[in-house]
Structure 1
Amino acid sequence: MEKPTHKPEPKETSLSSSLIVPMQRRLFFRYAGATALATTLLLSTTSCDDDDEMQPTDPGVVDLGSGDAGILNYAYALEQLEAAFYTEVVAKSMSIFNQSEQQIMQDLKGHEGIHRDFLKAALGSAAIPALEVDFSSINFNDKNSVLTTARTFEDLGVAAYNGAGQYLQDAGFLTLAGKIVSVEARHAAVIRDLISNGTFSDTANNQGLDPAMKPADVLSAASAFIKTKISANNLPK
């Protein structure tokens, strides 16, 4: 008689449960996030190259553009900043973290790289150039300095997506932004928990919602870490 075989049960792949499962399973985000974003990207890449004509600006200033392309460039600028930061963390700061924390930093680097690359692909020829960052104020040998900076970037990213999503006209791009901000919110939660256990939801208001910020306010807060001058004058108001 042929011996029966048993197929292993499929692993849980819920994004909402990933923060409470064992640390090694955080790698799921890297692949699940890429698949979800790729699906949305394929449905919506045709929108950005036909953007409205932008007003001319100082040639030394990077203009984000207008319409949906402007909003995605705004997000792309922030994702460039976050990806560059976690790249530095992984290169310079791993010795200050324990093994579980090192895995988190590796995963955050991977996630932000995915976000950056997909936004660049979605924008196509409308994408702004690579930005020059400035992390001179961060002590990458000090755990508190690294984590508080990470908290600043993650909170800023969530507030930026929450504030700018209302201006997107293309449903595909709105879905894309929604997928990214849901991951960014999980980043913000896990960083806060690393700083102080149990504070993962401290940014939420009485309605359970994270804050939203206008692009001008977000870029002002991020300007301390970005050498490249950025203009958001043509973004939707």
Structure 2
Amino acid sequence: METPKLGSSPHVRSQDESVKSADRRNFLRNAGMATVAGAVFLAGCDKDDDMTPTPSAVDLGSGDVGILNYAYALEQLEAAFYTQVVATPYSGITDAEKTLLTEIRDHEIIHRDFFKAALGTNAIPGLEVNFSSIDFTSRASVLGAAKLFEDTGVQAYNGAGNLIKSGDYLLIAGKIVSVEARHAAAIRDLLMPNSTSFAGDDIVDNNGLDKAIKPADILAAVKPYVKTTITASNLPTS
């Protein structure tokens, strides 16, 4: 996890930086609207609805249902994380940072609720998360965790795309992963402004492509942040 490079006044932005931040927030807002163009029926969902506590173990299932549950599990994790970030802002957070993180939270909640609605009775229960290793009072800790979750999310969608059989679900997954990539770039820019880290070689390969990671490896990477045991032995592999 990279350490943020901070200047002598880490929470004071120049006028140009403020304009850049505003443009980026508008970009993210528009991206979020595009992602859910086919799911406007979810507009009535309350973003503050509590997730029902889950049993100690859940199985994702098989086929497209299993892949959708896999995505649903990851979106639950991200939504819970950003909900906590916004509810308990870290020390020294700027208005621009809080606005950005709030918009990312709203996107993740929309993604989570989309999968829950699409899966219907096939949806896994709400997961119990474990954020004990994250210091929510620390900017470096919060943004470092956000970077991990966003990079992992992009790699997860890329690694699962070829496993989806339904063209409709693949289209939605493609729209969501593009928004997750925008989130990842925005978080990296907060950590290391004015650098090329938003598309660093740790996430983009020599062919100019984002990495694609298999579900089993992604679930192992996020396991420390989820108390619920997730089994994925029935997921498709090809």
Does the 8 Å contact 2:129/2:225 carry over to 1? yes
- Identity within the alignment, %: 56
Identify if the C-alpha distance between structure 1 residues 34 and 121 changes in structure 2 by more than 3 Å, giving closer, same or farther. farther
Give, in whole Å, the separation in 1 of the partners of 2:111 and 2:37: 10
Give, in whole Å, the separation in 1 of the partners of 2:225 and 2:24: 32
Give, in whole Å, the separation in 2 of the partners of 1:117 and 1:34: 14
Given candidates 157, 164, 167, the residue that maps to 1:161 is: 157
1:96 Cα deviation (Å)? 2.7
Query: Counterpart of 1:201?
Result: 199
Give, in whole Å, the separation in 2 of the partners of 1:41 and 1:63: 29
Consecutive unaligned residues in structure 2, runs of 5 or more: 1-18, 42-54
Given candidates 105, 110, 116, the residue that maps to 2:112 is: 116
1:39 Cα deviation (Å)? 1.4
Given candidates 42, 66, 69, the residue that maps to 2:62 is: 66
Does the 8 Å contact 2:35/2:179 carry over to 1? no
1:76 Cα deviation (Å)? 0.4
Give, in whole Å, the separation in 2 of the partners of 1:98 and 1:29: 18
Give, in whole Å, the separation in 1 of the partners of 2:35 and 2:140: 33
Identify if the C-alpha distance between structure 1 residues 145 and 179 changes in structure 2 by more than 3 Å, giving closer, same or farther. same
Does the 8 Å contact 1:24/1:103 carry over to 2? no
Query: Counterpart of 1:39?
Result: 38
Does the 8 Å contact 1:41/1:172 carry over to 2? no
1:1-237 maps to which residues of 2 (within 5 A)? 23=22, 26=25, 29-30=28-29, 33-34=32-33, 36-39=35-38, 60-197=56-193, 198=195, 199-202=197-200, 203-237=203-237
Give, in whole Å, the separation in 2 of the partners of 1:196 and 1:221: 23
Give, in whole Å, the separation in 2 of the partners of 1:190 and 1:26: 9
Consecutive unaligned residues in structure 1, runs of 5 or more: 1-19, 43-58
1:33 Cα deviation (Å)? 2.7
Give, in whole Å, the separation in 2 of the partners of 1:88 and 1:211: 28
Does the 8 Å contact 2:28/2:182 carry over to 1? no
Write the deviation string for residues 84-113 of structure 1: whole angstroms up to 9, x where unpaired. 000000011254311111111111111101
Equivalent residue of 1:211, what SS? coil
Does the 8 Å contact 2:90/2:139 carry over to 1? no
| Larger-gyration structure (1/2) | 1
1:205 Cα deviation (Å)? 1.2
Identify if the C-alpha distance between structure 1 residues 121 and 28 changes in structure 2 by more than 3 Å, giving closer, same or farther. farther
TM-score w.r.t. structure 2 length?
Answer: 0.79
Give, in whole Å, the separation in 2 of the partners of 1:94 and 1:144: 9
Does the 8 Å contact 1:96/1:141 carry over to 2? no
